[in-house]
Structure 1
Amino acid sequence: MKLVDIETVEPGQILGKTIFSSNGTVLLSTGVQLTVYMISTLKRIGVTTIYIDNPLYRDISHEEVLSEETKRAVIHQMSEMFEALKSGKNFSSKAVGQTVDDLLDDVLRNQNILIHLSDIRSADNAMFLHAMNVCMISSLIGLNMGLNMIQLKELSIGALLHDIGKLGAPEVQEGRMHHSWRGFDLLKNKREYSLLIAHVAFQHHEAMDGSGVPRGLTSDDIHTYAKITAVANIYDNFIYSSDVEGSLMPHEACERLNAMSGTVLDHEVLVQFMRIVSIYPNGISVRLSNRQTGVVVGQHRGLPGRPIVRVIDKEGDEAVGYNEIDLAQHPTVFIESVLS
């Protein structure tokens, strides 16, 4: 499959990756033939890119850390929590804990798979997918940093609920009503949770140099869980940005994160993050320094900037074969730009 802009999708093309609704159910399944109505609906709900099945790249591996079953469960749990808080009710700590246990099972089983945030986001599911991604990334970083299982679960629950202060109330960016404060106030009263979980919500917008919010803490006063969650939170926001300048590609997001090392973000956390992220994910189109264009089809753990690129040989508009360039074996060839 290949990642493409929604504006370039044509009726009759085959969807390459499942799209979830806001409550965790499947909106469109992998393999469905797209119609004019489906494409228009995807645009209307805020989808900007999708994966299209392409015979030339059908054999590309798209392994993911989380299974579709786990993703559905996490999104559904977040949806139920949103509805509960919106109605002024409490939420089930036990249900959240079970959801995190399932997510950690996937993380431990698939910890050698590089992170590639590929789920299609819409206006309805964005908040829930963000929470899921931040939780997954944080748990992988924590695993790399040697946290034990008790610590990993505390971190993962805190990361999943880091934005809980936004649920059921308008966002206010100042003072005690900032969502970090609201999240802390909500979670500190959950007797089933360690107070450290509440501090993830409280501190994930703090910065190493004291320039963060809501309290302007500096490095020594920010808990490791919050430092980890901050990296995951900012990375996911870069990849799925709703700002005017738009979303960043993974390599651009990583460059931005590295520029924040030691000032906004913790250097050691960033080092561990860079070991688990796919800078040039499978399925994206790239231009190489030798003037060839191709699609990334394989990765090397530990060498995220040197993937395997498939270049299609054509006669006119007809594909007649392909050549794969392993950048790990060709040190003089590099990725010059990302095309999609």
Structure 2
Amino acid sequence: MRLVKLDQCPAGVKLGKSIYNENGAVLLAQGTYLTNSLIERLKQFHIFTIHIEDELSEGIEIVESIPEELRIEAQNVITEGLNAIIELNTNSSNFQGMMKSGRAVRSMQKVFRDLLNSLNENQTALNLLATTKVYENYVYTHSLNVSIYACQLAIENGLPIPKIEEIGLAAMLHDLGKLHIPREIINKPGKLTDEEYALIKTHCEIGFDLVKQVHEIPIPVSHGALQHHERIDGAGYPRGLKGEEIHKYARIISVADVFDAVTSTRSYRQALLPHQGIEVLFGGYETQFEGKQVQLFKECIAIYPPGLTVKLNDGRTAIVTKYNFNAVGRPEIRIIKDEENQDIQPYEINLGDPKHLILEIVEADALLNV
């Protein structure tokens, strides 16, 4: 099985994984042979990548870190939860609103425990990069991704489960304040003005003020969300905290937040490739981010997951067959096209082998709509 861009997918291919809508209903079942009309229908649902089964990817196993059904449930719970808290803020004396937001937070805590259990059962590196996404609102999708990344990083830190659960909730809530920022500014394709950037920066404190109204949210969770843009050298915001002045939760969430942000396509820029996202984190090693968190994150993320089609710097095309724990960013691959983009008899190489160090992955187009 492999992940491909939908607009490069010809009619007649076999769907390798079922595709669901935001409500968890199956749009198209695994095993369906795609027609041109089905491909066009999927595009209408803003689906850009799909998993297919073909001879080139035979034997390649794609392991889901988070089952698709659970991911959809978590996405819906986060969406409903953030909206309930926003709704409460419009009338803080509304008893029904307080009850609704409390129930929403408890639902978020429950679904996070399910995510945590799934990650604890996962024996491979965390793979979110090759997940087909059908969600249009960046804030909600980003909040889920960051909570999963932060959860895995908290596990790597050896933290006890109650603290991991608090980190997960803080990550789910970290961008709540952005729902109060006009969407035309959040999604502005060009450079922000100084005034617009100053408004964006208020989202941390706006979110903090919102979550303080919900009694079910512990104080450490509020501070973890508030401080996710603080930086080790004091150059962050909103308070310019330094080093260990920054809450432990925020030091973890900030790494997950930046990685997901830079590896996701936004209205104003194209996504970075995963190894470039890791380079961004290392560029801020012990200045923007706690070095320990950057190192642990690198070790637990499947930068190029199995099933992903990639292009090498010599022009050859390959499919990732196996994650390489000994050389992060240099997986085992199956070459399927030569330097002239011609189909060939597939063969496999390990990019972690010293004799292949001159080779580098320079393109993974199926990730660029993530």
TM score, norm. by length of structure 2: 0.80
- 1:105-153 Cα deviation digits (max 9, x unpaired): 1111115433342222345254333222111111111111111111111
Which amino acid is 2:62 matched to? H
> Do the aligned partners of residues 3 and 112 (structure 1) sit closer, same or farther apart at CA in structure 2, a change above 3 Å counting?
closer
Do residues 120 (structure 1) and 120 (structure 2) align?
no
Match of 1:58 in 2: 58
Preserved CA contact (<8 Å) 2:318 2:337? no
2:368 corresponds to which residue? none
How many aligned residue pairs are there? 337
Q: What pairs with 1:78-97 in structure 2 (closer than 5 Å)?
A: 78-85=78-85, 87-88=87-88, 89=97, 90-91=100-101, 92=103, 93-97=105-109
Q: Is the 8 A contact 1:175 1:214 kept in 2?
A: no
- What residue number does 1:133 align with? 145
**Residue in 1 that maps onto 2:118:** 106
Give the aligned residue type for 2:8: T
Indicate the larger mover: 117-126 or 267-276: 117-126
Q: Which residue matches 2:271? A: 247
**CA distance 1:48–1:318, change in 2 (3 Å):** closer
Partner SS state of residue 206, structure 1:
coil
Is the counterpart of residue 22 in structure 1 residue 22 in structure 2?
Answer: yes
Q: How does 1:169-180 map to 2 (within 5 A)?
A: 170=182, 173-174=197-198, 178-180=202-204
**In the superposition, relative to structure 1, how do residues 225 and 19 fare at CA in structure 2: closer, same or farther (>3 Å)?**
farther
> Aligned match of 1:165 in 174, 177, 180?
177
As a proportion of its length, which structure holds more helix?
2
Structure 1: gaps spanning 5 or more residues:
none
Residue equivalent to 1:148: 160
Is 1:210 paired with 2:212? no
Residue by residue over 1:168-223, the C-alpha shift from the partner in whole angstroms, topping out at 9 and shown as x without a partner, is 66367536982211221122233222211011221111222222222222222211
Question: What is residue 292 of structure 2 aligned with on the other side?
Answer: 268
In structure 2, C-alpha distance between the alignment counterparts of 1:246 and 1:49, rounded to whole Å: 16
Residue 4 of structure 2 contacts residue 309 of structure 2 at CA under 8 Å; is this kept in 1? Answer: no
8 Å CA contact 2:2–2:60 kept in 1: the answer is no
1:187 to 189, 211, 236: 211
Partner of 1:235, secondary structure, is: helix
Q: Which residue in 2 is equivalent to 1:68? A: 68
Distance, in Å, in 2 between the alignment partners of 1:164 and 1:200 is 13
Which segments of 5 or more consecutive residues in structure 2 lack a partner in the other structure? Answer: 89-96, 184-195, 365-370
- Structure 1 residue 30, shift from structure 2 partner: 3.5
What is the aligned partner in structure 1 of residue 318 from structure 2?
A: 294
Q: Is the 8 A contact 2:231 2:243 kept in 1?
A: yes
**Rounded Cα–Cα distance in structure 1 between residues aligned with 2:53 and 2:140:** 26
Gap change, CA 1:161 and 1:66, over 3 Å in 2: same
Query: What is the Cα deviation at residue 103 of structure 1?
Result: 0.8
Is the CA contact 2:310–2:361 (under 8 Å) kept in the aligned structure 1? yes
After superposition, the C-alpha distances for 1:1-22 in whole angstroms (9 at most, x for unaligned) are: 3333333223333333444433
Say if 1:213 and 1:318 are closer, same or farther in 2 by CA, change over 3 A: closer
The Cα RMSD (Å) is 2.9
Moved more, 167-176 or 78-87: 167-176
2: CA distance between counterparts of 1:253 and 1:322?
A: 29
Bigger mean CA deviation after superposition, 85-94 or 202-211: 85-94
The alignment partner of 1:324 has SS state of strand
TM-score calculated relative to the size of structure 1: 0.86
Conservation of the 8 A alpha-carbon contact between 1:115 and 1:277: yes
SS of the residue corresponding to residue 71 of structure 1 reads helix
| More displaced stretch, 7-16 vs 156-165 | 7-16
Instruction: Mark the CA change 1:103 to 1:216 in structure 2 (over 3 Å): closer, same or farther.
Output: same
Hey, what's the Cα distance between the residues in 1 that align with 2:199 and 2:136?
28
Aligned-partner Cα distance in 2 for 1:25–1:87: 27
* 214-223 or 31-40, which deviates more: 31-40
| SS of equivalent residue, structure 1 residue 167 | helix
Is the contact made by 1:176 and 1:182 (CA closer than 8 Å) also made in structure 2? no
Tell me whether 1:327 sits opposite 2:347 in the alignment. no
| Larger RCO, structures 1/2 (Cα 8 Å, 6+ apart) | 2
Over 3 Å counting, the alpha-carbon distance change for 1:337 and 1:317 in structure 2 is closer
Report whether the alignment pairs 1:33 with 2:37.
Answer: no
Q: 1:209 to 1:177 in 2, by over 3 A?
A: closer
Deviation at residue 257 of structure 1 after TM alignment: 1.7
